[in-house]
């Protein structure tokens, strides 16, 4: 088969999964009984609650992004570029809030602080701890790409304090912008924390519109301001495209020697880990308080957990396969319009999950597509569309590092494109495929906004089950369920870490 035929098929499939439902929803909002009309869009000017929620979302996202980015860059430099003790362990700990469902943290903190935690600052605090790891990881990623000579040259003239300020920070400026935009977009679309802490934001309000009034046209119209977010995504993409991923081996990287600051900074990071990670988790353990509530939770969680794991594994597999395929298309620029594919994948990631969920309902809820809509297939489609950006970008970081000559050499040996794909590119991408799988697994597992909208009767997942319990369940039971959920999330991460350490020892 021709390369472009096969990959054209892949794109067509992805178009149906992601773009088509959104386009249909957009057109649906513009037509009433077959006539073009903008009436649905009046809601944007008349509905003050919705407008208010939009403003709230904006302020919230701005605050969270500012806080996470500024703290995250500092921590990223400490953890990724200094001789801080236990830096790897701390990094791993700090990532935990990102990978578990965020409302679990909201639940735990609210339980600790009580009523006054509800509202704007509570949401800001929880989302800050949730997205802090993104800023840390992005900073670390960019630090790994600084040519050590640049810093070495400056270090001959001046101390680290100045070099950091005058050389290192300017070099990772793209990381700062990128982390800020990413956190902004994610915080803008986050649903479950604001919902739990009863703070009206855009994604909760548009959800209400849909589920309470079943007025999808209004919901779509209300989403129009997201166009601003979209514009930002494309802007963000430019930063991504401009950054060539060339990783410097960790051994060559210039590390900051903290000297007399080593102990105080160690204690400082320890304190942060204790506060942001250990505290909420111990709260849950404390709250569970008895083996019995744990056993009860185990019994109740068994079915939803089984489904969660199954869906997450299938989702992860789809995500890692299609992430690879789309990264291949984008990297090789197989089609002249490859940027559209890239942009759409990022857009789906940036859109609030509730919106995509609604689009999927409108698109698939028809008698002849019930084999998808009324089965867990709809969830897999949701996960694939929503998180494809993650695995695509992860794979791309590897593809840009495979020298063109390796592929040209294969071509000269008589390899056609699929030989090269199968024997050269795929084996060289094995590790990122695994990383992509784990990331896909974690994000499919923790998803609950779309899942809540889409799950077929009797197929609720553990996050959805916990979420419904939160409305009226026993606190001890909920805490125990949360612990089970956290364990299920962290296990694959632990495996990946062990695998990595073992592999490094081998090499």
Partner 1 sequence: MIILESIDVSFDEQPILQDVHLKIADKERLVLLGSSGSGKTTVLKLIAGFVTPDRGKVFIDGQLASEEGKILMPPHQRDVSMVFQDLALWPHMNVAKNIAFGLKIQGMPKKEREKKVHDILSMVGLEDAGKKRIEQLSGGEKQRVALARSLVLSPKVLLMDEPLSSLDPALNVRLRTQIVKLQEELGFTLVYVTHNEAEAKEIATRVVSMQKGKIVE
Task: List interacting residues with partner 1 (CB under 8 A).
Answer: 403, 405-406, 408-416, 419, 423-424, 427-428
Question: Residue 83's CB: how many other CB atoms inside 10 A?
Answer: 12
Q: How far is the CB of 402 from partner 1 (least distance, A)?
A: 10
Rounded to whole angstroms, the Cα distance separating 236 from 3 reads 30
CA-wise closest residue to 278 among 485, 79, 112, 448: 112
Pick the closer one to partner 1 by CB: 410 or 488.
410
Q: How far is the CB of 405 from partner 1 (least distance, A)?
A: 4
Judge contact between 157 and 137, C-beta under 8 A. no
Rounded to whole angstroms, the Cα distance separating 387 from 397 reads 16
Pick the closer one to partner 1 by CB: 417 or 441.
417
Pick the closer one to partner 1 by CB: 30 or 428.
428
Q: How far is the CB of 408 from partner 1 (least distance, A)?
A: 5
Q: How far is the CB of 254 from partner 1 (least distance, A)?
A: 25
Q: Residue 35 gets which letter from DSSP?
A: E
Judge contact between 136 and 76, C-beta under 8 A. yes
Residue corresponding to tokens 């994604």: 203
Pick the closer one to partner 1 by CB: 71 or 434.
434
Q: How far is the CB of 428 from partner 1 (least distance, A)?
A: 6
Q: Residue 461 gets which letter from DSSP?
A: -
Q: How far is the CB of 265 from partner 1 (least distance, A)?
A: 37
CA-wise closest residue to 129 among 209, 204, 72, 202: 72
Q: Residue 82 gets which letter from DSSP?
A: B
Q: How far is the CB of 410 from partner 1 (least distance, A)?
A: 7
What length is written for the chain? 507
Residue corresponding to tokens 């939770």: 297
Rounded to whole angstroms, the Cα distance separating 507 from 504 reads 5
Judge contact between 390 and 443, C-beta under 8 A. yes
Pick the closer one to partner 1 by CB: 367 or 414.
414
Judge contact between 376 and 304, C-beta under 8 A. no
Pick the closer one to partner 1 by CB: 51 or 415.
415
Pick the closer one to partner 1 by CB: 231 or 406.
406
Q: How far is the CB of 153 from partner 1 (least distance, A)?
A: 23
Q: How far is the CB of 494 from partner 1 (least distance, A)?
A: 26
Sign for the CA dihedral angle at 199, 65, 61, 104 comes to negative
Phi, psi of 35 (to 5 degrees): -110, 140
Q: How far is the CB of 501 from partner 1 (least distance, A)?
A: 20
Q: How far is the CB of 431 from partner 1 (least distance, A)?
A: 11
Pick the closer one to partner 1 by CB: 112 or 424.
424
The 3 state secondary structure assigned to 326-342 is: HHHHHHHCCCCCHHHHH
Residues 6+ apart with CB under 8 A from 264: none
Judge contact between 446 and 309, C-beta under 8 A. no
Pick the closer one to partner 1 by CB: 386 or 398.
398
Q: Which helix (H) or strand (E) holds 36?
A: strand 35-36
Pick the closer one to partner 1 by CB: 228 or 411.
411
Pick the closer one to partner 1 by CB: 5 or 405.
405
Ranges of beta strands (E only) in 114-171 are none
Adjacent-strand bridge partners of 32: 35
């Amino acid at each position: 088969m021709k390369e472009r035929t096969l990959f054209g098929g892949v794109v067509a499939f992805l178009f149906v999964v992601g773009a088509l439902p959104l386009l249909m929803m957009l057109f649906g909002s513009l037509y009433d009984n077959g006539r073009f009309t903008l009436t649905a869009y009046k809601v944007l000017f008349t509905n003050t609650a919705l407008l208010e929620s939009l403003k709230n979302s904006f302020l919230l996202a701005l605050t969270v992004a500012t806080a996470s980015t500024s703290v995250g860059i500092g921590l990223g430099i400490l953890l990724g570029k200094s001789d801080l003790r236990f830096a790897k362990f701390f990094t791993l700990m700090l990532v935990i809030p990102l990978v578990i469902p965020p409302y679990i943290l909201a639940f735990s903190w609210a339980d600790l602080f009580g009523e006054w935690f509800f509202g704007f600052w509570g949401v800001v605090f929880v989302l800050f701890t949730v997205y802090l790891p993104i800023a840390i990881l992005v900073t670390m990623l960019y630090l790994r790409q600084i040519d050590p000579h640049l810093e070495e040259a400056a270090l001959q003239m001046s101390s680290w304090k100045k070099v950091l300020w005058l050389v290192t920070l300017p070099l990772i400026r793209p990381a700062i912008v990128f982390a800020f935009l990413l956190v902004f977009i994610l915080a803008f679309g986050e649903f479950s924390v604001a919902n739990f802490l009863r703070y009206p934001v855009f994604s909760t309000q548009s959800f209400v519109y849909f589920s309470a009034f079943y007025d999808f046209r209004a919901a779509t119209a209300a989403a129009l301001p997201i166009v601003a977010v979209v514009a930002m995504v494309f802007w963000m993409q430019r930063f991504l495209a401009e950054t060539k991923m060339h990783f410097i081996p960790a051994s060559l990287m210039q590390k900051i020697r903290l000297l007399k600051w080593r102990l105080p900074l160690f204690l400082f990071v320890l304190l942060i880990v204790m506060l942001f990670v250990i505290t909420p988790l111990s709260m849950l353990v404390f709250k569970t308080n008895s083996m019995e509530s744990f056993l009860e939770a185990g019994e109740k969680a068994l079915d939803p957990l089984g489904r969660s794991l199954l869906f997450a594994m299938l989702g992860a597999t789809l995500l890692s396969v299609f992430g690879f395929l789309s990264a291949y298309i984008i990297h090789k620029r197989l089609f002249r319009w490859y940027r559209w594919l890239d942009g759409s994948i990022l857009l789906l990631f940036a859109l609030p999950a509730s919106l995509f969920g609604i689009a999927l309902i409108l698109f698939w809820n028809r008698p002849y597509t019930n084999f998808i809509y009324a089965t867990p297939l709809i969830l897999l489609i949701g996960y694939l569309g929503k998180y494809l950006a993650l695995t695509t970008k992860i794979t791309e970081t590897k593809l840009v590092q495979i020298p063109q000559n390796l592929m040209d050499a294969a071509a000269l040996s008589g390899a056609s494109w699929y030989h090269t794909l199968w024997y050269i590119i795929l084996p060289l991408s094995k590790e990122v495929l695994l990383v992509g799988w784990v990331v896909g697994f974690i994000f499919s597992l923790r998803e609950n906004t779309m899942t809540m909208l889409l799950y077929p009767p009797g197929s609720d997942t553990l996050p959805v089950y916990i979420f419904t319990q939160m409305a009226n369940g026993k606190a001890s039971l909920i805490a125990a369920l949360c612990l089970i959920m956290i364990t299920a999330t962290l296990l694959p991460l632990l495996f990946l870490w062990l695998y990595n350490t073992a592999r490094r020892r081998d090499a």
